[in-house]
Structure 1
Amino acid sequence: MKKITKLLMLSFVGLSAANANANANAVYTVEKDILFKTVKARTIKLDLYLPKTEAKVDGKYPLLVWVHGGAWKRGTKDDIPTKNPLLLNSVLSEGYALAAVDYRLSGEATFPKPVADINDAINYLHDHANKYNLAADNVVMMGRSAGGHLAGLVGASNTHGDISFYSEPKYRVAGVVSFFGPTDLLELGNKGNRPTSKKSSVSRFLGDIPSEVPELAAQASTTSYINSDAPPYIQFHGTVDKRVPLAQSQILKQTLDKYGIENQLFIEEGVGHSAPIFDTDKYVPYVIAFLKRHYPIK
């Protein structure tokens, strides 16, 4: 039997004094470990966070999908309350629902299986939208690091009708929020013009060194799918990120600009990968503004 846990939302300062005061005593519910897929004996689950406010989109909550980071080889859906607490509390206080999804990690599955898992999670929520009171025809993809890559890839490929590596999506991606996520895996495998090894995170995700499987690396890259129908993007990145160089977000921005897709790239000087600054009042309000512009709650 699924467990419903009520958590007190943390008070926070920054979006506005009024919002901070209103949120101090707000609560949300989270339904943990919703089984959306079984592969042989492997069960794959998601957590669904619902705001304790009245749903305003025809009586339903608009859906955000969060993909965790961890170099494709570690991490869990359970990370968001500790790694992005301000973002989580902020979107819930605005009236959005958020699904944090698990996917098979590189120790058990290589591309494209993790992407298929995420797509299947969203299709599951679409199929069970009435049960969970969700407006799931449109979603916003969100994620950090490897999760930012997977969120961006799902977002970009969603506009294509000929994707063969996951089942047909039943939803439309209205926008993508990426915190320091890779976008071009062939380029990522050649950081500093030195090809990576078979033991690197990106090689394990693909199953081989990117330069040895360039077509597969391209298939797994967000930049390969950008066209004039791509959703808007907002990206955040540090200038001294050694794990995922800033160039990864800049490459995607250049591609989006080429096709006239609305996008923003916020760069923080002097910080590296997974810098805490990105889950503070300095940047979370930009995410909220992005959501209100591209996925408004009426």
Structure 2
Amino acid sequence: MLLAALLVGGCPAQAQQAAPVPRDTSFTVHSAYVKAKKQHPTITVARPPVPRHVRTASNLTYCALAGGRELKLDVFYPRAKRRQTFPAVLIVHGGGWRSGDRAQHVPLAQQLAARGYVAVTAEYRLSTEAPYPAAVQDLKTALRWLRAHACPYAIDTTKVAVWGFSAGGQLATLVGTTNDDPLFEAGTCYRSHNSRVQAIVDADGTLAFIHPESGEGDDRKGPSAATLWFGASKTDRPDLWQQAAPLNHVSAHTPPILFINSGVARMHAGRDDMRRQLDAFGIYSEVQQFPEAPHPFVLFNPWFEPTVAYTVNFLNRVFGR
């Protein structure tokens, strides 16, 4: 039963560490660069200098799972003056729900911290380890951890955003459109704190799986990334595929959303339908697009700096900074 794969709290010292699941390394910054460079020979990997005054707390455990498996995150934060607090951003990596790594967005996290945000890069269980909805539950747990640790990092817990790229964009938007939904809250880690977010940034993440614009779920050459994540094809379990679509969770309580998109249309399937729903509720949304860019544009120059700028400008607007 899928929902049985819930997070459990507890002291990791009391249990043996679970054997690590072999990682799928098919999506890395290097592999994405080699592929994108064929069509965009002038691109470079975005590795800007580490900004001054940005502090880092690395490899922190945000929850221990059954069997001693520990979920990790990193925090990048500005130096605070007395009684000063900062909005926070949880950053979610992509990789088809199966690959990828939180370290891919360290440059983004550092740049956000330099601009007055506490940026958190968190791992989550991939489909090689646990099927949907485990990844969503993990990320909501990371948000609860963030609020529980607001004091040491000077976090303003009323101003929390989630940012995601590709599969991470889908996850970020699902996390943000399901505030307070008990289906996606699991385990005992920091349950006295909430996982709500007040803003969403979706960089090329699909908003709908069963949709005319969607390219997810083509299993003709083998199980697709989404099929592997859901543990069933969209023909066999359309209910799960619909349930995981952020488009199907829009309500009057949905936070403002920024969509940052490449020129690959299928990567933002359902975006325009979602914006129409947001408009009907009077919820602010914004689209910024790089029509010439490949899908993993957020990792490369010349698109990295504009992506940072769009993100910061949007969050400043939403949070009244």
Deviates more, 1:288-297 or 1:223-232: 288-297
- Work out whether 1:128 is the aligned partner of 2:152: no
Per-residue CA distance 1:17-42 (angstroms, 9 max, x = gap): xxxxxxx9623111111101122232
Q: Percent identity?
A: 26
Match of 1:3 in 2: none
The aligned counterpart of 1:257 is 279
Deviation at 1:96, TM superposition (A): 0.8
Offset from partner CA, 1:204-254 (integer Å, 9 cap, x none): 11111123211111111111110122100001112235xx43434334323
Q: Deviations over 1:39-76 (max 9, x none)?
A: 22321110011113537xx4223211101111110111
- Alpha-carbon offset, residue 195 of structure 1: 4.3
1:33 matched to 2:59? The reply is yes
Structure 2 vs 1, CA of residues 245 and 60 (structure 1 numbering), >3 Å: closer, same or farther?
closer
Higher strand share: 1
Q: Is 2:213–2:270's contact at 8 Å kept on the other side of the alignment?
A: no
- Is the aligned partner of 1:164 residue 2:187? no
CA, structure 1 residues 291+129, in 2 after alignment: closer, same or farther (shift >3 Å)? same
Aligned twin of 2:27:
none
2:262·2:295 contact (CA, 8 Å) conserved in 1? Answer: yes
Report the residue type matching 2:240 in the other structure: L
1:271 aligned to 2:293?
yes
Q: Which residue of 1 aligns with 2:77?
A: 50
How far apart, CA to CA, are the structure 2 residues paired with 1:163 and 1:261? 23
Q: 1:65 to 1:47 in 2, by over 3 A?
A: same
Closer, same or farther: CA 188–143 of 1 in aligned 2, 3 Å: farther
Structure 1 246/62 Cα, relative in aligned 2: closer, same or farther at 3 Å?
A: closer
- How many matched pairs? 266
- Residues 79 and 188 from structure 1, CA distance in 2 versus in 1: closer, same or farther, beyond 3 angstroms? farther
Structure 2, unaligned runs of 5 or more: 1-46
Structure-2 residue corresponding to 1:196:
219
- Return 5+ residue gaps in structure 1 as ranges: 1-8, 12-23
Normalised TM-score (structure 1): 0.80
Matches for 1:1-298 after TM superposition, within 5 Å:
10=48, 26-39=52-65, 40-54=67-81, 58-81=83-106, 85=107, 87-158=108-179, 161-167=180-186, 170-187=194-211, 191=215, 195-197=218-220, 199-240=223-264, 244-275=266-297, 276=300, 279-297=303-321
Letter in 2 for 1:255: Q
